[in-house]
Amino acid sequence: MKRSKLTHFILSLCLFAFAGEALAIDISVLGLFRNKAIVKIDGKQRILKLGKASPEGVLLISSNSDEAVLEIDGVQNSYRLGNHIGSTFKRDAQPEVSIYKDELGMFTAVGSINNFPVNFLVDTGATYIAMNKNEARRLGIDFRQYGKRGYANTANGVAKTWNIVLSRVTVGDVTLNNVNASVIDSDSPREILLGMSFLGQLEMKNEGSALKLKKKF
């Protein structure tokens, strides 16, 4: 059964995000290195690596022996050794989102990839976020230059693929950085599949008509 783009878009809007109450966060910068920083967050020592968020949600954007750029609650600032980031910074309780079924009983959601709006079809059987070559080009992804070639079994047989890393993937209030994805050298899948490279990093709860996703950390 085919769905019109308008119907798909309207049904995909059945998505609601929830924000938690603000929590104080306390950070001290203990050590600075190239692409790595040692910090104490709420009394716990953490080693931050480039592009990876701590369990508390503090993301290291860049660092060297002089300073580090940290992203806290979506805000980036530079900090030097010995800097203390106090309770003036707030972070939300882990965001969550509810995704609802469409008229075919499939979980669909409006989201974004690298800040470009997209429609997702939730697929827990997909290892990665998967898209066809046309969607990749629309999103400005140069998969042939930067992707790693491979092959995948599809409904139409074996197809060439390019494995890539998406800088930013968002569904509702849930955003993840550096998410693995696959571009298939085909016109399929028609919709971008929201696979386990994204879903596997979240807590998932299926409540029948709704699928609830929540960040683990």
Kindly report the CATH number assigned to the domain that includes residue 43: 2.30.30
59 and 32 within one domain: yes
Q: Do 63 and 156 share a domain, yes or no?
A: no
Residue 126: domain span: 5-16+95-215
- The answer on 125 and 70 residing in a single domain is no
Of the listed ranges 13-22, 50-59, 62-71, 143-152, the least confidently predicted one is 13-22
Domain count, the chain: 2
Q: Do 133 and 179 belong together in one domain?
A: yes
| 186-211 per-position pLDDT tens digit | 888 999 999 999 999 999 998 888 89
Out of 69, 92, 115, a domain closes at 92
The answer on 167 and 85 residing in a single domain is no
What burial class does residue 127 get, using C-beta atoms within 10 Å of its C-beta: 0-12 exposed, 13-18 middle, 19+ buried? middle
Task: Classify residue 128 as exposed, middle or buried by CB count within 10 Å of its CB (0-12, 13-18, 19+).
Answer: buried
**Same domain, yes or no, for 11 and 99?**
yes
Closest Cα to residue 16, out of 173, 141, 128? 173
Same domain, 30 and 131: no
Q: Please state the length of the chain.
A: 217
* Residues 120 and 172 both lie in one domain: yes
Angle ∠(45,48,53) on CA atoms, nearest 5: 110
pLDDT in tens, 70-107: 888 778 888 888 777 664 555 456 778 889 988 889 99
Both 9 and 102 in a single domain?
yes
Is the full-model pTM beyond 0.85?
no
Going by C-alpha positions, the residue among 112, 114, 70, 62 that lies closest to residue 91 is 70
**Residues 84, 99 share a domain:** no
CATH at residue 105: 2.40.70.10
Q: Which of 67, 92, 117 represents a domain boundary (last residue)?
A: 92
Structural domain ending residue among the three candidates 53, 68, 92:
92
The C-alpha atoms of residue 195 and residue 156 are separated, in whole angstroms, by: 20
147 in the same domain as 59: no
31-65: pLDDT as tens digits:
888 889 888 888 888 899 988 888 888 889 999 98
User: Residue 140: pLDDT above 70?
Assistant: yes
Residues 125 and 198 in one domain: yes
Per-residue model confidence (pLDDT) at position 40: 86
